[in-house]
Amino acid sequence: MAKTSEFDPIDFLVARKYNLIQGMGVGSPPRSAEAEAQRRKARRKYEKLAAKYRLELSQKSRAELDALVEAARTEDREWLAAKQEKDESARPFNRPSAVATVPTYTYWAKLVFWSVDETVALLLERNPKPVTWEMVKPHVTGFGFRSSSSATVSSTLQKTNFAQ
């Protein structure tokens, strides 16, 4: 049976702050001798700083370490949430021109029928003219759907045939 290692707050905090991954540069293109020397020098510098930080952390109580870990995790969650929000707002179907407005609904309400894509776009408060399934499809995984769900949605949209 495999042993699981116990969480070490000091290792976590040092790795988070200095990100000194062993095997750095594996698989990267060859560097010039000068560039490689600079990389090694920078790594040694960060290893020294990491050792100093590790010593500083080792002098703290478990409660202080736990508080630092929790603060770091909170900061990481906030950073990730902000990044996700930024990424989401940059998607083409979230641009101001893609958002449905009163004139959008007025226009579409006058039409005799809508396609499934148009209906879904309107239900999601999006303008069906710039927002199409082809535009949304590459982003489906970002919504937590599995690829099978994407295939199901795509298949359903392609097979649905409304009488005009």
Half-sphere exposure of 149 (CA within 13 A, CB side): 9
Cβ-proximal residues to 54 (8 Å cutoff; 6+ apart), any chain: 10, 14
In sequence order, the β-bridge partners of residue 99 are 126
Q: Where are the alpha helices (DSSP H) in the chain?
A: 9-18, 33-58, 62-90, 102-109, 116-123, 133-136, 147-159
C-beta separation of 27 from 19 below 8 A: no
- One-letter amino acid at 99 equals V
pLDDT tens, position by position, for the chain (164 residues)? 566 678 899 999 998 888 876 555 545 666 788 888 888 888 899 899 999 999 999 999 999 999 999 999 999 999 999 998 898 888 888 888 889 999 999 999 999 999 988 998 898 899 998 888 888 888 776 554 444 444 545 555 555 544 44
DSSP string, 82-95: HHHHHHHHHSGGGS
Q: pLDDT tens digits, residue range 53-65?
A: 999 999 999 999 9
C-beta separation of 157 from 117 below 8 A: yes
Q: Which residues of 77-95 are buried (b: 16+ CB within 10 A; e: fewer)?
A: eeeeeeeeeeeeeeeebee
Length of the chain, in residues? 164
pTM score, whole prediction? 0.58
